[in-house]
Amino acid sequence: MGTTATKVKRKTTRSKLTLSVSRRHVDLLRRLSKREGKSITELVEEFAESNAKATAITKEGDGWVKRNAGILAKKVKPADWKRDDRVGELLRKSGLR
């Protein structure tokens, strides 16, 4: 006797959002929506989620820089602040000099 798993769809509270964007951006969103096979709402929700994750990752990195500021104080060179990578970005965002 096998069991079958059923997906339970959770109800989420939805809110309406009105945006004022240029006609060009409306057209871009409609083309993207059609190409991806998703609604504009789905595209905006995915963007918000990915942006939230990226922000969380950045905050983790900022915390690391602040926790290790004493260790880094004498080892970070002025050129490191100008680096075009994650390390340079974290150093500039931390404001520690």
Output the pLDDT for position 19. Answer: 87
User: What local confidence, expressed as pLDDT, does residue 54 receive?
Assistant: 65
pLDDT for residue 95: 65
Q: CB atoms < 10 A from the CB of 91, how many? A: 19
- pLDDT for the residue 26: 93
**What pLDDT does residue 55 have?**
63
Separation in Å, CA 77 to CA 87, 92, 97: 12, 13, 10
SS (H, E, C) 46-95: HHHHHHHHHHHHHHHHHHHHHHCHHHHCCCCCHHHHCCCCHHHHHHHHHC
Could you tell me the mean pLDDT of each successive run of 10 residues in the chain, 97 residues long? Answer: 57 84 94 94 88 66 67 74 85 70
Task: Give the integer Cα–Cα distance in Å for 61 and 55.
Answer: 10
